[in-house]
Amino acid sequence: MNSSTMAATLGDELYQALINCSPVAPLSSRFPELSIADAYQIQLRMIDRHLAAGERIVGKKIGLTSAAVQTMLGVDQPDFGHLTSSMAFDSGDTVAASRMIAPRAEGEIAFVLKRDLAGPGITNVDVLAATECVLPCFEIVDSRIQDWKIRIQDTVADNASSAAFVLGHTAIAPDQVDFIHCGMVVEKNGVIVGTGAGAAALGSPVAAVAWLANTLGRLGMGLKAGEVILSGALSALVPVQGGDHMRMRIGGIGSVTVRFN
């Protein structure tokens, strides 16, 4: 199977797995020759299917920002995926866990851009200058790969395991935030299940966004004004199911809640 045929076939397979809520066997075990570059082509095919269904791209997400997760997958780099309009929710909304396979929630900081960012050469200063505001955010990830048995090729192909994101109502100017030291607390059904700080995302969520802009620039892509950029988890992923209620707060930014059914 040549690379273009593989991208189309596996991208369609992953999209159908998402629609049917039915996982597939790991791509990396079925196709040991699959490269990260191949996986991004599969991801783009999956996104094309979203767009053909009437969705639109509203932002990007950065994954694999923590050293622990990188070590687990045997990689030395983050990854990225696309956010589409069907994935977007507001604080207090209910998300259908029943339409996902094995969802997990993670707390992070979302950046909303007021101007385009096109790498290479983007610095943290450039990111801050291009940011309209930041908000507290839950990202809901879900793997279309059976039992989360993923290597980096699997999660990249699967649109970085994207499923949904929930934005808080408080929009804070970026110059008002200590991105390195801001503390985060995650609660599930009233019990604290995670804590973290901004430094967990590549040393700073701002650095994570700069990495994304520069990585996309090398691929001939950019970040657009108005897009939402999810900068990476600040603590461990938390499994969720119908009936769960999650709350997260970040010092200096605010809080966000979500329910699952």
Packed helices 3-20 and 36-52: angle between N→C axes, nearest 10 degrees:
50
pLDDT tens across the length of the chain (261 residues): 788 899 999 999 999 999 999 999 999 999 999 999 999 999 999 999 999 999 999 999 999 887 767 776 677 789 999 999 999 999 999 999 999 999 999 999 999 999 999 999 999 999 999 999 999 999 999 999 999 999 999 999 999 999 999 999 999 999 999 999 999 999 999 999 999 999 998 899 999 999 999 999 998 999 999 999 999 999 989 999 999 999 999 999 999 999 999
- Residue 104: which region, alpha, beta or left (left: phi > 0; alpha: psi -120 to 50)? beta
Superfamily the domain 56-260 falls into? Fumarylacetoacetase-like, C-terminal domain (3.90.850.10)
What does the alpha-carbon distance between residue 160 and residue 158 come to, in Å, rounded to a whole number? 5
User: What are the E-state strand segments in the chain?
Assistant: 57-63, 79-84, 88-90, 94-95, 104-113, 131-141, 162-167, 183-188, 191-197, 228-230, 238-239, 245-250, 254-260
pTM of the shown model: 0.95
User: Whose CA is closest to 112, among 135, 83, 91?
Assistant: 135
Determine the pLDDT at residue 64.
86
Return the pLDDT at 71.
73
- The reported pLDDT for the residue numbered 77 is 81
- Count of residues making up the chain: 261
Residue pair 79/152 in contact (Cβ under 8 Å)? The answer is yes
Are 167 and 88 contacting, i.e. CB atoms less than 8 angstroms apart?
yes
Domain ranges of the chain: 56-260
